[in-house]
Structures are given as C-alpha cells and as structure tokens.
Amino acid sequence: MNKDGQSKAEYVRQLHQQVKENLERRTQQYTKHANKGRKRVTFEVGDWVWVQFRKERFPAQRNSKLLPRGDGPFQVVEKINENAYKLDLPGEYIVSATFNVSDLTPFDDPSDLRTNPFREGGMM
C-alpha cells in the first residue's frame, strides 16, 4: 500500500469509530427517555398484590363501567420470572393464575398507620 491508501484506510477506521460511539450515545439517550416514567416492580413469594381486570381476560367482571377494575389482595405463590407471577386465585375466577407484572399492583396493608400520615395515629 502506498501512503495515500494507508491514510484513507485510517480515515475510514476513525469514521467508523466515531459513528459507533455516536450510535451508542444516542441509544443511551433514547433508552433514558423511553424509561423516564417507568419503575421496576418485583414481587417475592408471599407478597400480597391487587389484580387489574382487563376486558379481554375478565369479560364477566368488566361488563359495566361501574364495576370494580381490580380485586384483591391475592398472594404470590410462585415467581416464574421478572415479568410473570402465579397467584393464589379463588375458584370463582375461571382464568389462568399466571399474571404479567403490568396487571399487578402492590397491596399496601391498611393496618400500618405509618404509611398514611393523614389517618389518625399516623406520623406527621
């Protein structure tokens, strides 16, 4: 290779490196913006959760706007992975007991007065 070919090859290598760094930086920015309002929720076996009723999965419980949109608390029986949990559902629900984490909400024990400062006896 002559001197001109080597300089072109070096220029292309530097250009590729700059493009790669720019792509990585932009991907991090996009990821940060996309995950801005999200919080990671995980449950352990024995935790109590509320279940959200979706029309597709619970058509009998969501046939009116005035019916509740959730039920609970139910106990987590098994953690399948970070996204799926098996609950201890009563027999009246004729659906699978496995739920996605997006359908679950942590159950706050109402007997713990420290969590709500506006209730009588709560911390101020």
pLDDT tens, 1-26? 567 889 999 999 999 999 999 999 99
Three-state SS for 110? coil
Q: How confident is residue 37, by pLDDT bands cut at 50, 70 and 90?
A: confident
Q: Which of 60-64, 90-94, 96-100, 110-114 has the lowest mean pLDDT?
A: 110-114
Domain 48-109 has CATH 2.30.30: yes
CA-to-CA separations, 48 to 17, 28, 88, in angstroms, rounded:
50, 35, 10
- Which residue shows structure tokens 């979706």? 54
Contact between 61 and 53 (Cβ < 8 Å): yes
Please list the alpha-helical segments (H only) found in the chain.
3-34
Q: How confident is residue 113, by pLDDT bands cut at 50, 70 and 90?
A: very low
The CA distance from 15 to 21, in Å, is 10
pTM above 0.85, yes or no: no
